[in-house]
Amino acid sequence: MDESLSQLQRVAIAPSQLQHSTLTLTPEQQHYLRRVLRLQQGDRFIAMDGQGCWWLAMVDQATTAVVLEAIAIATELPIPMTLLVAMPKGNGMDDIVRQTTELGVAEIWPVMSDRTLLQPSATKVERWRRIAREAAEQSERQFIPTILEPTPWVQALEPVAQAVVETGAIAYLCTARGNPRSLLTDWQQHRPTPPSRIFVATGPEGGWSLAEQEGAIAHHFSPVSLGQRILRAVTAPGVAIALLAAVQEAPPSAKQP
């Protein structure tokens, strides 16, 4: 991105807000631009629709902005990744959503495992979506990750298995037990053909139960390790996404050990 544009604030909008070259601002956006950022009429910012499009915009009237031009940008990973995360207790999901959005995840699917203690409300899910939007703005993402509705782990297995069989996706189950192959080793050495999508699942405090692991393997998940140390439930998702993203973005000569 041009250096002058990189200094501008980014604001996520809904596609329906843009009609021709006029951007209708929500009350929250008006407050943010005028009161928080203290932008005046004629000042510029970047509008992003979370679906791949960016525009250079200029504050116009109190409730509108003018779109000046489209901006070409490429910040997304070549292979979309879905994180299935067994929700940790407390506010751990806030950090997971923020960090993995910054790292490039395309979709976050909260799941309820045998050892999951959190029972999220609709308010919690909306909070995670807001965090994802803010993190996407901050990290210059083209897309805002989709936060799916929380689902029991056993119900999430079938659609993943279907994607593996029918679309060429791959699925990883991160586990600390049973001496599985390293995620990084598997990804580097045994996937010569890029998959259509990557699913990666990380477990709750205490890890996946044996039945959950067996069910995942039966649905085409490959068990993998994130290293020799036991990671916290809030640490593992970022490590997994970072490893997969790093290999995707490495120069071709560096992708094979």
Instruction: For residue range 141-170, list pLDDT tens digits in order.
Output: 888 999 999 999 999 999 999 999 999 999
**What percentage of residues in the chain have a pLDDT greater than 90?**
58
Eight-state DSSP code of residue 88: P
Is 104 within the bounds of a domain? Answer: yes
Query: In the predicted model, what is the mean pLDDT of residues 85-112?
Result: 96
Q: How high is the pLDDT of residue 94?
A: 97
Convert the pLDDT of each residue in 182-218 to its tens digit: 998 888 775 667 899 999 999 999 899 999 999 999 9
User: Is the model more confident about 30 or about 7?
Assistant: 30
pLDDT of the residue at 105: 97
pLDDT on residue 253: 57
Q: What is the mean pLDDT of the chain?
A: 89
Residues 93 and 210 in one domain: yes
State the DSSP H helix or E strand holding residue 92, giving kind and residue range, or none if neither.
helix 92-103
pLDDT number for residue 20: 86
> Are residue 149 and residue 47 in the same domain, yes or no?
no
Query: Is 86 contained in some domain?
Result: yes
Share of the chain above pLDDT 70, in %: 94
User: Of the residues 71, 103, 126, which one is the last residue of a structural domain?
Assistant: 71
Q: Is the pLDDT of residue 2 over 70?
A: no
CA–CA gap between residue 177 and residue 164 (Å, rounded): 24
Handedness of CA 25, 26, 27, 30 (dihedral sign): negative
As a whole number, mean pLDDT of residues 174-178 equals 82
Closest among 91, 120, 87 to 237, alpha carbons compared: 87
Q: Does 76 fall in a domain? A: no
* Eight-state DSSP code of residue 91: T
User: Treating both helix axes as pointing N-terminal to C-terminal, what angle do 92-103 and 122-138 enclose, rounded to 10 degrees?
Assistant: 30
Measure the CA–CA gap between 163 and 45, rounded to whole angstroms: 39
**pLDDT over 70 at 255, yes or no:** no
One domain, residues 24 and 134: no
What are 28-84's pLDDT values in tens digits?
999 989 889 899 999 999 898 877 788 999 998 889 999 998 887 778 899 999 999
Judgement on whether residues 106 and 164 belong to the same structural domain of the protein: yes
Examine the pLDDT at 257 and tell me if it is beyond 50: no
The answer on 85 and 67 residing in a single domain is: no
Average pLDDT over residues 103-119: 92
Question: Are 57 and 146 in a shared domain?
Answer: no
DSSP 164-200: HHHH--EEEEE-SSS-PEEHHHHHHHS--SPPS-EEE
Domain count, the chain: 2
pLDDT for res 76:
85
The answer to whether the beta carbons of residues 173 and 153 sit under 8 Å apart is no
The predicted model gives 22-33 an average pLDDT of 91
Q: What pairs with residue 59 in β-bridges?
A: 65
pLDDT, position 248: 86
